[in-house]
Amino acid sequence: MFNLEEELKRLPDKPGVYIMKDKSDNIIYVGKAVVLKNRVKQYFQSSRNHTIKIKHMTQNIDHFEYIVTDSEVEALVLECNLIKEHRP
């Protein structure tokens, strides 16, 4: 079972790509981060600054996966390839 709080604690302080999925395991969002821990946590914090699109997306997130990369550039390339492949 996916425990959001535990998974957020396990996120590394490294660059990478995160993949947000819904209950049916469909990819609903792919993004890159300079620091995975900081970026992914931002989605789950209450904020008036979130757009309607982001608020709607976060309501549909059931779980997430991530891939650590060696650099921000590598994360950018991987993000682009995953978006082209999965078209979330």
Domain span at residue 24 reads: 4-86
Kindly provide the residue ranges of all beta strands, DSSP E only, lying in 1-88, ordered along the sequence.
Answer: 16-21, 27-33, 63-68
pTM of the complete model: 0.91
pLDDT under 50 in the chain at which residues? none
32, 80 in Cβ contact below 8 A?
Answer: no
User: What is the number of domains present in the chain?
Assistant: 1
pLDDT digits (tens, 9 = 90+) for 10-35: 999 999 999 999 999 999 999 999 99
CATH code of 56's domain: 3.40.1440.10
